[in-house]
């Protein structure tokens, strides 16, 4: 039994290691799973009249603390090569919408009752909701549905036929590239081949503009590109935050062909490998 538990721990540790996660003191930004988590701590108030009330009050305080932590963490999320969420939230409308979205965060697991009588609670929000708030409204439209076929219930692009390109993997390892919510892919002239205006807003909100992984093996199994992804090598990073990836002009033509035939860019089937 102990051996089985040990093996499971190794497997989970390996999976986590392959994901791109920014671990923080009181939370994390998981760019691979497109989730932002925060941990709140609630202490038992001195004016609690009984154990039941003390627990409820501590849980409420823990949630309030987690909400504050989530706002702080979201502020630090890298949005583009030049902007973090704190820059975007200077706009009062965006700030109000993001804070409202965070208030709807969901609890992760069960409360942890600590030895000092405090309570620890973890809450999570999907990046999709934040992307929906900050992403420009005009991007490549989703291809219209044909004839009698009803629209899909969710933004999940269909897999190309056997032999077709199912996605693009950009290998940016060794370039000190960093993850972002809205990275761009550039040609060697600095022109974007992938970025706002190059993908469907619907797919970007549902699935994220791009996925991230640390190993090619994990990337090839990712639902975003799984099947027959085209793998190209990044040659440089761009922007203050080093989130935009430059590829060779020779690879640009390969990606352009794959997109014209299989809509991989339009459908946000892009995954970036980073260290």
Tally the C-alpha atoms within 13 A of residue 71's C-alpha that lie toward its C-beta.
16
Q: Are residues 96 and 180 in the same domain?
A: no
pLDDT of residue 3: 42
Q: Please say which residue of 134, 153, 188 terminates a domain.
A: 134
pLDDT digits (tens, 9 = 90+) for 131-147: 999 998 766 655 554 44
The sheet with strand 119-126 has its strands ordered as 21-24, 27-30, 35-42, 119-126, 106-113
Please give the structure tokens belonging to residue 99: 């804070």
Q: Is residue 35 part of a domain?
A: yes
Task: Go through 73-112 and write b for each residue having 16 or more CB atoms within 10 A of its CB, e for each that does not.
Answer: bbeebbbbbebbbeebbeeeeebebbeebbeebeeeeebe
pLDDT of residue 4: 39
What total number of domains does the chain contain? 2
pLDDT of residue 143: 52
Kindly report the number of other CB atoms within 10 A of residue 154's CB atom: 8
Q: Please say which residue of 134, 160, 189 terminates a domain.
A: 134
pLDDT of residue 224: 97
Q: Are residues 58 and 119 in the same domain?
A: yes
Contact criterion met (CB below 8 Å) for 34 and 49:
no
pLDDT of residue 77: 96
Q: Is residue 152 part of a domain?
A: no
Q: Are residues 113 and 180 in the same domain?
A: no
Q: Are residues 125 and 175 in the same domain?
A: no
Q: Please say which residue of 89, 110, 134 terminates a domain.
A: 134
Q: Are residues 111 and 41 in the same domain?
A: yes
pLDDT of residue 48: 73
Per-residue pLDDT tens, the chain, 275 aa: give them. 444 333 333 333 334 456 899 999 999 999 999 999 999 999 988 777 787 788 888 999 999 999 999 999 999 999 999 999 999 999 999 999 999 999 999 999 999 988 888 899 999 999 999 999 999 876 665 555 444 444 443 344 444 445 799 999 999 999 999 999 999 999 999 999 999 999 999 999 999 999 999 999 999 999 999 999 999 999 999 999 999 999 999 999 999 999 999 999 999 999 999 99
Q: Are residues 67 and 121 in the same domain?
A: yes
Cβ contacts of 48 within 8 Å, gap of 6 or more: 54, 57
Q: Is residue 190 part of a domain?
A: yes
Q: 230: domain range?
A: 168-273
Cβ contacts of 139 within 8 Å, gap of 6 or more: 196, 197, 198, 199, 200, 201, 204
Q: Are residues 117 and 184 in the same domain?
A: no
Q: Is residue 102 part of a domain?
A: yes
Q: Is residue 140 part of a domain?
A: no
Q: Is residue 151 part of a domain?
A: no
Q: Are residues 195 and 261 in the same domain?
A: yes
Q: Are residues 122 and 218 in the same domain?
A: no
> What's the CA gap between 82 and 241, in Å, rounded?
6
Q: Is residue 185 part of a domain?
A: yes
Q: Is residue 248 part of a domain?
A: yes
> What's the CA gap between 217 and 53, in Å, rounded?
50
Q: Are residues 220 and 116 in the same domain?
A: no
Tally the C-alpha atoms within 13 A of residue 212's C-alpha that lie toward its C-beta.
27
pLDDT of residue 140: 64
Calculate the CA dihedral of residues 219, 171, 209, 108 and round it to 10 degrees: 50
Cβ contacts of 132 within 8 Å, gap of 6 or more: 205
DSSP 185: E
pLDDT of residue 47: 78
How far is residue 153 from each of residues 31, 149, 202, 243, measured CA to CA in Å? 24, 12, 12, 32
């Amino acid at each position: 039994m102990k051996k089985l538990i040990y093996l499971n721990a190794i497997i989970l540790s390996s999976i986590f290691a392959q994901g791109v996660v920014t671990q923080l003191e009181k939370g994390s930004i998981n760019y691979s799973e497109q989730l932002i988590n925060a941990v709140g701590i609630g202490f038992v108030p001195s004016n609690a009249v009984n154990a039941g009330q003390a627990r409820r009050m501590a849980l409420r305080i823990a949630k309030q603390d987690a909400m504050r932590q989530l706002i702080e963490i979201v502020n630090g999320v890298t949005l583009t090569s030049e902007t973090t969420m704190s820059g975007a939230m200077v706009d009062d409308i965006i700030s109000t919408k993001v804070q409202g979205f965070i208030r709807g965060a969901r609890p992760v697991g069960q409360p942890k009752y600590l030895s000092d009588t405090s309570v620890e609670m973890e809450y999570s929000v999907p990046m999709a909701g934040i992307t929906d708030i900050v992403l420009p409204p005009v991007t490549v439209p989703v291809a219209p549905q044909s004839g009698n076929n009803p629209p899909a219930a969710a933004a999940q692009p269909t897999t190309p036929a056997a032999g077709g390109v199912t996605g693009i993997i950009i290998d940016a390892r060794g370039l000190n590239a960093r993850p972002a919510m809205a990275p761009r892919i550039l040609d060697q002239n600095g022109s974007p081949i992938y970025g706002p205006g190059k993908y469907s807003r619907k797919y970007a909100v549902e699935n994220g503009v791009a996925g991230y992984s640390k190993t090619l093996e994990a990337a090839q199994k990712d639902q975003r590109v799984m099947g027959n992804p085209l793998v190209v090598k990044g040659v440089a990073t761009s922007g203050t935050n080093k989130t935009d990836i430059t590829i060779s002009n020779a690879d640009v033509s390969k990606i352009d062909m794959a997109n014209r035939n299989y809509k991989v860019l339009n459908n946000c089937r892009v995954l970036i490998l980073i260290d």
